[in-house]
Structures are given as C-alpha cells and as structure tokens.
Amino acid sequence: MDGAGGLSKKTLSNVVILTGRELEITRGYLVIEDGMIKEISEGSPQSRAVDLKGGFIMPPFVNAHTHVVDSVAKELYLGRSQPQVVGPSGVKFKALESTSPAVAKQATKATLKEMLATGTIAHCDFREGGVAGVDFLRRISCSPLKSVILGRFSRTEEIPALLSRADGIGLPSLAIFSEDEMEEAAAAAHRAGKLLAAHVAENAEEMAAYRNKHHRSEVEQAIKLNCSFVVHATHCTEEEFLKLKANGIPVVFCPRSNSLLGVGVPRIDLALKTGVEFFFGTDNVMTCQPDMFDEVSFAWRCLRRVDTSAGSEEARRLLLAATINPLEFFKLPWGPVEEGRAATFLVLARKNNLLHLSDVYAGLVNRARVDNIREIYCGGKIIIS
C-alpha cells in the first residue's frame, strides 16, 4: 500500500459501491491494484483493508454544460431578465469583452479547480470567442479534469479553423443564425466527426417567436440539423421529448440556472416518462457554481414537486444522468466502477447528513454534499483527500 496515493495494491472495505453501468448496489469491498479495479465483492476481505465505515463509492460527475469563463461575471443576472443577461447583447458578453485576459484566466482557473474538488472530472463547455476563445480555455489546464470544448463562430468562414481546435460546435439560440449558416455549420461538424449542440426551448417567449417565424419548433430545427445533443429543453413538450428520443438526441438539463434566470424549470418527469436520454449541466458560472451535488439535489426537488410518486428508481436515473450516461456519450477515458476498469471514483464518508439513510439512491441525490467527499481517485491515485 502506498500512503501517498500511488499505484500499489489497496483494499477499501465496509463500503457501499455503486457498480457498473446501472449503478447496482454492492455492500462489501473494492480492491485497487496498479491503478485498476481488481475486485469488487460483497462481504469482508481476507486481507488488510482501509475501513470506510459504511461510506460510499460512486462514479465521478460529468458536468455536461458549462460556461466557465463566465466566472468573471458572477451575479450580473440580478435585476435582469434572461435575454438581458445572456442574449446577443446581454451583460454577459459585455463583461467577457471588458475583462482582461489575466483576470479571466485567474477566475476561470479557480472555477476549474473547484469543479475538480467537488467531484467533477469532466465538463463540456460552450466557449464563446471563436478560435481564440477555444484556445484560451485549452491553455488553462487543471489536470486531470477533462474539458470537452464546443466553439462558437461569428461568421461561417471561421468554421473550419474552429473545428480544427474545438471538439465541436455549440450553437446558441437558433434564432441568431440563418438556416443556411446553421446547415453549413452542421455539415462541417458532421464531416469532421465532431459534436454539434444547440440551446433549445430555454425561453418560452423566444421559442414561440421562433415557431411563428420559421413554422417549426427549435426542437424540430435541432433534429433537422442532426444535433449531437441539445441543451435546456426547459419548455419541451412530451411530444418533443419523444421526437428527440426517436432521433437519438440526448438533452442536457440545467434546472438551477433556468430557475435563477427566471425561465422556469425543465420537465424532468416527462423526460423520465418518455425515456429520452438526459444529462445535467450547471450552465453559466455567473448564475451557479459548478457543483453537481447541488444540481442533482435541485433536480430532485423539481421532479418531486410535480411527481410525488418519484422514488428510488427515479433517483438512480438522476445519478446516472450526472455520471455514467454522459461519461459514455462523451467517450471519456475511464469507465463505470467495475472490475477491470481504471480506479476512478469518489469516496463519500457516511457521516452527519448521510447517516440513517433508508434508500441509498434517494439519499445520495437528496443529501450528499461536497463535504462528504473523503477522497477522489483517478486511475488509482488519490487526487483529492
């Protein structure tokens, strides 16, 4: 055993493990050897072990939608509507333009470090500012945090260069570009084998205006563009969720940000009912700290507000949406907590708020906090303790 968090053999015992692609519960122990999960088993190990005293092991979070450079504009949403904050001429963009690169770097790096410390090992960022904006975020490393960066163009001539540096294209409101421009961007992203994502159905008034002008919904336009995934879907109907599911397009919900910007909260109950795949994101750092414990807890409250029958199974699906589902979608370099995989996971202490749980899934979704993190393992090495 390496007390400094090295790659020798270690056994973690007396722990509740959320294992595999379905987060099945195993009460027992986990063996790490040379950075990999060697064994997961029920009961007690025969060899010497670290007693986790009934704690929990779960996959790390994947934050599927962020705007991390917005760290320079915290609380600028106060007293303003959503279009005034993040619309094309919103205060967010004025703040980004008026902030020096040094200050933006300092603020963004602090946010990336906080994401890592709060159990997020990867995020997907919608990065404004074209190629320069993508390169700015690429240079700010916070290893081992993985940044999937989707760039935004101002003119279609920028698309080839943007796709050479970014992991794809992140379209803002679909009303900003002409249909020809969007189709050109979509075709280029698909040819390059990269991601294409768009904000849809976030603001009810803008959504209605788009439909009146284009005679189709934003969701229908996203399907027409063959988007890899869509963000927000705050006002999606059951029928629209079914269309997204039929076309294999996941949704990223951002309930805290939607609420703080006054545009409503997404119908997570309809997403669960229709079976559309969904993830969670914390959206703009100007409104929300990128804390996925807070995000899933708030999502749980939103769900229970409209569906009091939501229970253990629904809580498990929320955990999947914050961990395993986006992990596989973004093809990240680790896997579920299972034998033969890299030992990359969170260890949560069972204390205070996590004592006396009658249900593991609902308890973790509703009550787990950053202060429960005992350790974060990445490839068998402790990176946070």
pLDDT tens by residue, 226-278: 999 999 999 999 999 999 999 999 999 999 999 999 999 999 999 999 999 99
Residue 19 phi, psi (nearest 5): -105, 150
10-60+334-384 belongs to which CATH class? Answer: mainly beta
Q: What is the pLDDT of residue 62?
A: 98
In tens, the pLDDT along 208-218 reads 999 999 999 99
Q: How many Cα atoms occupy the beta-carbon half-sphere of 152 within 13 Å?
A: 20
Sign of CA dihedral 249, 254, 258, 259: positive
Q: What is the pLDDT of residue 7?
A: 56
* Pure H helices in the chain: 82-86, 91-98, 101-117, 130-139, 159-165, 179-191, 204-214, 218-224, 238-246, 255-260, 268-274, 292-306, 312-322, 324-329, 360-367
Give the CA distances from residue 226 to residues 186, 196, 288, in Å, rounded to whole numbers and listed in that order: 8, 8, 29
Rounded percentage of the chain residues whose pLDDT exceeds 70: 98
Give the integer Cα–Cα distance in Å for 289 and 367: 17
Helix (H, G, I), strand (E, B) or coil at 145: coil
In sequence order, what are the residues at sequence separation of 6 or more whose Cβ sits closer than 8 angstroms to the Cβ of residue 70? 92, 95, 96, 284, 285, 286
Give the CA distances from residue 353 to residues 156, 252, 337, 357, 359, in Å, rounded to whole numbers and listed in that order: 51, 28, 24, 9, 13
In tens, the pLDDT along 274-331 reads 999 999 999 999 999 999 999 999 999 999 999 999 999 999 999 999 999 999 999 9
- Please check whether residue 101 is in contact with residue 135, taking contact to mean a CB–CB distance below 8 angstroms: no
Ramachandran region of residue 348, left (φ > 0), alpha (ψ -120 to 50) or beta?
A: beta
Q: What is the pLDDT of residue 5?
A: 46
Q: What is the pLDDT of residue 89?
A: 86
CATH topology of 10-60+334-384 equal to that of 61-329? no
Multiple choice CATH, 61-329, 3.20.20.140, 3.40.50.2000, 3.40.50.12140, 1.10.1740.10: 3.20.20.140
Helix (H, G, I), strand (E, B) or coil at 162: helix
114 has pLDDT over 80? yes
Task: Return the ∠ at Cα 290 (arms to 238 and 193), rounded to 5°.
Answer: 65
2 has pLDDT over 50? no
4 has pLDDT over 90? no
Q: What is the pLDDT of residue 8?
A: 82
Give the integer Cα–Cα distance in Å for 382 and 375: 7
What single string gives the DSSP state of each residue in 208-268?
HHHHHHHSS-HHHHHHHTT-SEEEE-TT--HHHHHHHHHTT--EEE-HHHHHHTTS----H
Domain extents for the chain?
A: 10-60+334-384, 61-329
Q: Which residues pair with 66 in a beta bridge?
A: 125, 283
- Please check whether residue 21 is in contact with residue 329, taking contact to mean a CB–CB distance below 8 angstroms: no
1 has pLDDT over 80? no
Give the integer Cα–Cα distance in Å for 214 and 297: 37
Q: Which pLDDT band holds residue 183 (cuts at 50, 70, 90)?
A: very high
Give the CA distances from residue 64 to residues 250, 265, 273, 281, 379, in Å, rounded to whole numbers and listed in that order: 11, 17, 21, 5, 21
What's the whole-model pTM score? 0.96
In tens, the pLDDT along 323-344 reads 999 999 999 999 999 999 999 9
Closest by CA to 114, choosing from 347, 293, 380, 330, is 293
Helix (H, G, I), strand (E, B) or coil at 100: coil
Closest by CA to 338, choosing from 24, 45, 61, is 24
Give the integer Cα–Cα distance in Å for 159 and 151: 9
Q: What is the pLDDT of residue 263?
A: 96
Q: Are strands 36-42 and 24-33 parallel, antiparallel or unpaired?
A: antiparallel
- Residue 278's H or E segment, with its range, is strand 278-280
**Residue 127 burial (10 A CB sphere; 0-12, 13-18, 19+):** buried
377 has pLDDT over 60? yes
220 has pLDDT over 60? yes
Q: Which pLDDT band holds residue 41 (cuts at 50, 70, 90)?
A: very high
6 has pLDDT over 60? no
23 has pLDDT over 90? yes
Average pLDDT, the chain: 95
